[in-house]
């Protein structure tokens, strides 16, 4: 059984999710101490607890310590079984992070498709929103030969939650390596400024502010306004026509946060990516390294930022897989990730 300390590196839920995924992929049991020790609310919070239970369900695992706020977890995997699953977080916890935990074992370790319905948050702080998953993450996976279909039935914002996302995961016999080293530029930014259960003028203000921040040089900016059912909540997404897949950045509203601040949040991320002039955005880098560690060939990526999430994820992967993964550059700056 692998002994792991959840307080190292960024000390958050990424360690837990990668451990769960790789345990199911490799068949190695693990004992994780100090779960999410570096977070304001350490231990298993609802979305992390659901990640554990979802992994246990699809992988017929034996688990000890799967309770709310638990800081100590033992996970012994069984066989991964494809099928139809439903997971209700019960809060606005991120549905996308639960999906990140189980998609790879279902794709890599089974011979039949799976259909999963998640209930919880679709657009919540400090996690990939549905539109990022569908626009950027899913398309990167397609380049690797992993096919995940996504559909948002209903949006869910903090604190109410209640969003519903359906995912289909196809079996994958081989994961392709990836080499992305050249920046190919951005000519167009399209966006959606959405409100749910809030006045429409908020969407208009978000769109106006983001457009004024992003109009520069030869880049064309076009942001549409939408009104969704449900809520209350608001989100602004910005899709850049980068290659080989679009990069998407977003800002989220919250009580007392001006619409202009939501727009600034998204625009500043997009501007930072444009300034870095690297093909892989900072969020995709740490999400790609896990499936690429299972690819047969060597991969090499130029990334917009070497984040603590990425470096921590690499350290966890090394505990489960004998794969040479090298990150060149300084944390917080652009760099190169090589998987040999």
Q: Could you list the active site residues?
A: 309
Residues 41, 309, 316, 243, Cα dihedral to 10°: 140
Cα–Cα distances (Å) from 209 to 188, 226, 227, 266, 268, in that order, read 17, 16, 18, 10, 12
How far is residue 173's CA from residue 108's CA, in Å, rounded to a whole number? 7
Cβ(312)–Cβ(340) below 8 Å: no
| Token duo for residue 299 | 């991969």
Mapped onto helix, strand or coil, the DSSP state of residue 12 is coil
**C-beta atoms surrounding 181 within 10 Å:** 11
**How many Cβ atoms from other residues are within 10 Å of residue 290's Cβ?**
22
Strands 325-328 and 188-196: unpaired
Q: For the chain, give me the number of helices (H) and strands (E)?
A: 9, 16
How many CB atoms lie under 10 A from the CB of residue 317? 21
Contact 233, 197 (CB under 8 A): yes
Beta-carbon count within 10 A of 332 CB: 11
**CA-to-CA distance for 234 and 196, rounded, in angstroms?**
6
Backbone angles phi, psi at 204, to 5 degrees: -65, -40
Q: Is the peptide bond before 232 cis (omega within 30 degrees of 0)?
A: yes
Q: 202 with 234: CB under 8 angstroms?
A: yes
**Residue 201: CB atoms within 10 Å:** 11
């Amino acid at each position: 059984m692998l002994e792991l300390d959840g307080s190292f590196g960024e000390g958050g839920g990424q360690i837990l999710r990668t451990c769960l995924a790789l345990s199911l992929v490799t068949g190695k049991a693990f004992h994780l101490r100090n779960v999410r020790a570096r977070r304001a609310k350490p231990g298993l919070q609802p979305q992390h607890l659901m990640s554990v239970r979802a992994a246990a369900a699809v992988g017929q695992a034996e688990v000890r310590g799967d309770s709310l706020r638990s800081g100590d977890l033992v996970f012994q995997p069984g066989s991964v079984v494809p099928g139809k699953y439903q997971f209700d977080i019960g809060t606005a916890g991120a549905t996308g992070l639960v999906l990140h935990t189980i998609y790879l074992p279902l794709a890599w370790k089974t011979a039949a498709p799976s259909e999963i319905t998640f209930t919880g948050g679709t657009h919540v702080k400090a996690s990939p929103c549905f539109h990022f998953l569908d626009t950027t993450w899913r398309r990167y996976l397609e380049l690797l030969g992993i096919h995940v279909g996504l559909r948002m039935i209903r949006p869910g914002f903090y604190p109410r939650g209640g969003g519903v996302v359906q995912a289909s995961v196809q079996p994958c016999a081989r994961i392709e390596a990836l080499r992305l080293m050249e920046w190919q530029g951005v000519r167009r930014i399209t966006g959606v400024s959405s409100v749910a259960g809030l006045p429409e003028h908020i969407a208009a203000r978000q769109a106006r502010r983001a457009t004024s921040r992003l109009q520069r040089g030869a880049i064309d900016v076009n942001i549409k306004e939408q009104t969704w059912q449900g809520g209350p909540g608001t989100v602004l997404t910005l899709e850049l026509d980068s290659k080989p897949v679009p990069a998407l950045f977003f800002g989220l509203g919250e009580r007392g946060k001006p619409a202009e601040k939501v727009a600034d949040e998204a625009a500043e991320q997009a501007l930072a990516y444009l300034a870095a002039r690297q093909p892989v955005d900072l969020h995709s880098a740490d999400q790609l390294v896990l499936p690429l560690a299972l690819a047969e060939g060597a991969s090499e990526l130029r990334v917009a930022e070497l984040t603590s999430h990425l470096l921590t994820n690499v350290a966890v992967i090394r505990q489960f897989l004998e794969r040479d993964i090298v990150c060149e550059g300084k944390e917080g700056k652009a760099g190169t990730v090589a998987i040999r």
